[in-house]
Chains A and B, each alone.
Chain A
Amino acid sequence: MQKVIGETKKAFLTGNEAIAWGCLAAEAEIMFGYPITPQNEIMHYWTRLAPKYGKNFLQTEDEISAGFTVCGALQTGLKAFTATAGPGNVLMQEPFGMAEAMRLPFFAIIQQRGGPSSGTVIYSQQEVSLTAHGGNGEGHRIVYSTANHQELYDYTIKGFNTAWKYRFPTFLLGDGYQAKMREPLEMYDPSDRGIEIIKPFPLIGLEGHIGEDREPQHLRNIYSLEEELYDVVLKYDSEYDSIKAELVEFSEMQCEDAEIIIISHGVVSRAAEDAVKALRAQGIKAGCFRPITLRPFPREQLLAVIDKSNAKKMLIAESAMGQLERIVKYEIYGQTLPVETLFMPGVGIIDYDLINKVKSII
């Protein structure tokens, strides 16, 4: 097979481009999409790259359709994907739910924008609840919240593999700032890093006679009886539970002796790391914790970090009105460390905001 990336080298990219290249490196075959800022350049770049590498693209009439066409293509064994944002993410909850029900290897990129509704086209962290727990089911999903362009590339590759390995809908949760920012990253061929790309496989039209050569393939999103559905949801839940430990990812910085722990995710965690360095330089013992997987959440890891620290408080900071905070509080129920918050819905948080907030609460 033609190597897409070739020799590993540093390149200067926007986040959306890093994702489009990551999709190529992950051997994706087709994108179905509908334009919405701030994910547009994923589509634009994919459509520029697609003819050069024998890939395909279809612009559908809306996001509902884009999501369902992905569901269809996945069943035929095509490595398909989509990308969306904001109200598009809302519309796609229905196909995401179908993927959850039928256990389709659905990988989608979400570039968060301001809300509610069309909000702004620019930036937010307001799609956490929707992406991690949306739909009319149990939110059996896997959500990676990235913080820089290297991660956009890395987790795009990883996201496809996760989706095809576990067959739970998998999301790369970025945002408008990450989409548009420009920074250097290393683009590599996954095989050069020992990453094996999982080959797609068909879920329908399988070889052999049903009942003779093989069992029927039941891909269902509707059941006649409540007991049937109940059994399926319990089965999915136990399967999801059993893979949590191998899926959770987090990063932590200088929490061992920290008196205050800043908890943030995504692009805000970059500000948190800068804030910790600045606060430490001023003699304030700060540390930070960042869940990389928002679902499943690194619960045990956060509890362990808190236990090992000298924290008197934690500060949850996000560009939303408490969407991360609700997850954290739920996950570490019983932990009595006082929680302070810095909520800036739809607005960027920089180190300065965090430094000032920390100084005002310690």
Chain B
Amino acid sequence: MWVTEQNVARVVEAYVGEYASGKSEMAINRALELKNQGRQVTLVDLDTVEPFYTLRPLQDKLENLGVNLICLSAKDSFGLGETGAMLNPKARWALRHEGDIILDIGYGIHGAKTLNLVEGANESEELKILLVINYTRPMTNSRERIKEYIKSFDRIDGIIANTHLANETTVEIIKKGNTEIAAVAEENNLPVVYMAVDIRLAEEVNQHEFEIPIKFINRYMPEAIWS
């Protein structure tokens, strides 16, 4: 059974996947969802390669919404420079925080190895590693490529189908992409936890039948100027 508020004491999820697949967006939405259920949530930015491009611009906003955010602020990164690719000590011990922990693992396959740096991650029975796939991304735009991509990870516990084409997303694009993702997931005996859909498409999407559960998401990342 999948983890829900009812059947587990706390939620510990790591979002991994292709660069620009929507990991941060999924992680933010999940953190806020849990927060809105009245839970204590810590969201961890684990991009050790380029920590300057990730959740930092949304720090104030997310903290004001009540999420405990672990990321490098401008103050924390003083003097770090380009060679300062480092693990934030707070992130290293993230799993020792109370409450739910959502880990946003930056930088693709290589980034996923960062999880080894988090104390207790490999031993944790609570941790679920979720692979985010966007079918419009060139490296995951066919069944063969998705299969190959999944193989590059040591461990995946579930898949999130996140097929979007920014503001040009249509129901057809979502349907086609997520159906393909679901087919590969089934072949690999992996559950598709849900498909994420931009809430602006809710009305249209609700007129269609989908076998996968739908989770409507808000887009926060466009607020970062480079997104």
Residues of A within 8 A of B (CB): 10-14, 17, 21, 36-37, 41, 48, 118, 120-123, 176-177, 180-184, 187, 348, 350
Task: Say whether, besides A121-B82, A177-B225, A182-B20, A10 and B136 are in contact (CB < 8 Å).
Answer: yes
Collect the chain B residues with CB atoms within 8 Å of residue A17's CB.
Answer: 19-20, 138
- For the complex, give the distance between the alpha carbons of A350 and B223 in Å: 12
Q: Which of B20, B53, B81, B168 contacts A10 (CB 8 A)?
A: B168
Collect the chain B residues with CB atoms within 8 Å of residue A184's CB.
Answer: 136, 165-168
B82 touches A14 (CB 8 A): no
Question: How many cross-chain pairs have Cβ atoms below 8 Å apart between A and B?
Answer: 57
Closest to A180 in B: B226
B88 within 8 A of A: no
B128 within 8 A of A: no
B134 within 8 A of A: yes
- For the complex, give the distance between the alpha carbons of A120 and B53 in Å: 12
Interface of B is mostly: loop
Q: How many residues of B are counted as interface, with CB atoms below 8 angstroms from the partner's CB atoms?
A: 21
A-contacting residues, B19-55, CB 8 Å: 19-20, 50, 52-53
A121 touches B52 (CB 8 A): yes
Collect the chain B residues with CB atoms within 8 Å of residue A183's CB.
Answer: 166
B165 touches A10 (CB 8 A): yes
Q: Which of B50, B52, B138, B226 contacts A181 (CB 8 A)?
A: B226
Residues of B within 8 A of A (CB): 19-20, 50, 52-53, 81-82, 134, 136-139, 141, 164-168, 225-227
- For the complex, give the distance between the alpha carbons of A50 and B19 in Å: 18
Task: Say whether, besides A177-B225, A181-B226, A37 and B165 are in contact (CB < 8 Å).
Answer: no
Closest to B138 in A: A11
Collect the chain B residues with CB atoms within 8 Å of residue A348's CB.
Answer: 225
14 contacts across the A-B interface (CB closer than 8 A): A12-B137, A13-B20, A14-B19, A17-B20, A17-B138, A21-B138, A48-B139, A118-B82, A181-B226, A182-B166, A183-B166, A184-B165, A184-B166, A187-B138
Collect the chain A residues with CB atoms within 8 Å of residue B139's CB.
Answer: 48
